[in-house]
Amino acid sequence: MKSNYNYFYNNPDCVNATVYFFTDSTLYKKIASNTIAQIFSKVLTAGISIFLIWILTKYLPIEMYGSYNKVYSYLWIFAFLADLWLYTLAIREISRGLIPKEKIIWNVLSLRVMMALWVWFISFLIALFLPGYNDSLTLIAIAIVGAFTLVSLINSSLLALMQSQMQMEFSLISVVAGKIINISLIAVSLIYVFAGSGTENLAFISVFVAGFIGICLNTYMNYIYAKKICPIRFLFDWGYIKNIFHLSLPYGIALFLSVVYFKIDVILISLLENPDKADISIALYWLPMKIVEVLMVLWGFYLNSVLPSLSEKFRSWKTEEISKILGTSLKVLVSFSLCIFILWSWLASDIISIIATPEYINPIGHIYNSPLALSIALWVLLFHFVSLAFIYVLIASEKQWLLLKINIWITAINIVWNIILIPYYSFIGAAAVTLFSQAILMLVSAYVVLGQYSVPKKYYISILQTLLLWLCILLVFNMFVKNIGLWSVGNVFIYGTIFAVIYWWVEYKISKKIFM
């Protein structure tokens, strides 16, 4: 099909691409409102996700929960290969306003579906010959998650359109509705099984079917909303598809590699450990990693809110504004990551004991447990949040090939050290390697970005003050609360509230000057 550029400009159903140019105060208000809308969405879905983890770990046998996560880890690697970072790239391209948003979204939607179908087939084909993945139950699960991936990539394209127009408020309703349907169907299926009317294998498959139905509802609701912004359909402008594919390929490979060093450890555990022990190791490891993964998404949306304006600043080369956005992002991400780190590190054992069975705390045949893995994974979270600020600057500045080179080296290091350490230290070795990889990514990306774009001194001072505040509160609570036995699950709400009030009140005093 040949492209018809006049169509986009003359068709009354299409609205030409719009770039939002705001004053500084209006810009930050728009970013704030868009971010706040997503905060509620992510907090609610995070709570639902934690509840889902509780249901699965309580009612699925530990080795079956390990197999569940093995399937998703395997498919996620292929899903990110199909994604090609097109979500973020579409936001950037729409925000620039150089090409009508309809042309971008319609072609991106077509490209994503083609890529999803291709990786669905490839992932299933590889699984047929992969030990630990080629049994009939796992293959059925892989087929279902492949369909889940296809629909979720379509959903992501719709969200990119909504995000680029800073209209993410409706996503709160759609994603929560999808999650509620998902968790309700899982609860019903598990009740059915444990009432004696079904089998564990049926429960296992029904979990994946429930996830697929949930994402279908979420996508349909977003489609209804997104078509109010512009009509939604497939377009096969092969010239543009080739161009967008070329632009996204380095980003996509970089994203794929970054996911590889987060997910490959699960696959390596399944291949390097004894088959009778591997699924249990995956369950013990993936429970804390899943908790951290839920927390990780909480602030990715902040940077997606910032990305449209950041891309526009790079396009017009407003270096002073770029530095301000980078400094603000670093301050915000450091403040929130330290708050999350303190609360969750204090509660590591309590959290695992609440949402999982005693097998995850005192596993049979393992010297390591899930609370230990969670304490390591929280450090991963800390480095991850900070590195996001630098990575998004590289995205907005179109340094995709540099980002790709960084991820190639980190992924290679990650795989080598996982192969070395997993046979000796099981999933704790994998957790340590993930932490090391994330720390290297943060340091290297910081070195590259800060070498090119200076951050005003006031942001560094404010970040240092936040670190000192964090250390003081950590010391005080450890000395006067935990060490004298006052910290317990029953008192979590009381002391957590006290901590949060003190932390954010001092943070407000520290930070208000730099945002004025």
Higher pLDDT: 481 or 136? It is: 136
What are the C-alpha distances in Å from 456 to residues 105, 235, 510? Answer: 37, 45, 16
Q: Is the pLDDT of residue 409 over 90?
A: no
- E-assigned strand segments in 262-308: none
Report the alpha-carbon distance of residue 465 to residue 291 in Å, rounded: 28
The amino acid that residue 56 corresponds to is: L
Alpha-carbon Rg for the chain, nearest whole angstrom, is 23
Listed in sequence order, the residues at least 6 apart from 402 whose beta carbon sits closer than 8 Å to its beta carbon are: 394, 448
Report the alpha-carbon distance of residue 381 to residue 290 in Å, rounded: 11
- Tell me the pLDDT band of 308, cut-offs 50, 70 and 90: low
pLDDT tens digits for 251-299?
A: 677 667 767 767 788 889 988 888 778 889 999 998 888 888 877 776 6
Of 124, 164, 159, 129, give the one whose Cα is nearest residue 144: 124
**Do 68 and 139 contact (CB within 8 A), yes or no?**
no
**Do 123 and 192 contact (CB within 8 A), yes or no?**
no
Question: Helix (H, G, I), strand (E, B), or coil: what is residue 407?
Answer: helix
Q: Residue 12 has what pLDDT? A: 34
pLDDT tens digits for 342-351?
A: 777 777 777 7
pLDDT tens digits for 417-472?
A: 999 999 999 999 999 999 999 999 899 988 988 888 788 888 888 888 888 887 88
Residue spans of the domains in the chain: they are 18-455
Listed in sequence order, the residues at least 6 apart from 54 whose beta carbon sits closer than 8 Å to its beta carbon are: 354, 355, 356
Q: Residue 9 has what pLDDT? A: 30
pLDDT tens digits for 358-397?
A: 889 888 878 889 989 998 988 988 898 888 888 878 877 7
Q: Residue 482 has what pLDDT? A: 60
- Buried b / exposed e across 467-492, counting CB within 10 Å, b at 16+? eebbeebbeebeeebeeeeebeeeeb
Higher pLDDT: 456 or 302? It is: 456
Question: Helix (H, G, I), strand (E, B), or coil: what is residue 397?
Answer: coil
Report residue 340 as tokens.
Answer: 């999350």
Higher pLDDT: 244 or 168? It is: 244
**Do 97 and 152 contact (CB within 8 A), yes or no?**
no
What are the C-alpha distances in Å from 364 to residues 62, 132, 268, 367, 379? Answer: 11, 21, 21, 8, 27
Higher pLDDT: 224 or 11? It is: 224
The packing angle between helices 275-315 and 24-59, to 10°, is: 170
Report residue 364 as tokens.
Answer: 């049979």
Cα 419 from chain centroid (whole Å) = 25
Q: Residue 484 has what pLDDT? A: 56
pTM: 0.72
Q: Residue 302 has what pLDDT? A: 65
**Do 93 and 13 contact (CB within 8 A), yes or no?**
no
Mean pLDDT (the chain, rounded): 78
Q: Is the pLDDT of residue 195 over 50?
A: yes
Higher pLDDT: 13 or 312? It is: 312
Q: Is the pLDDT of residue 24 over 60?
A: no
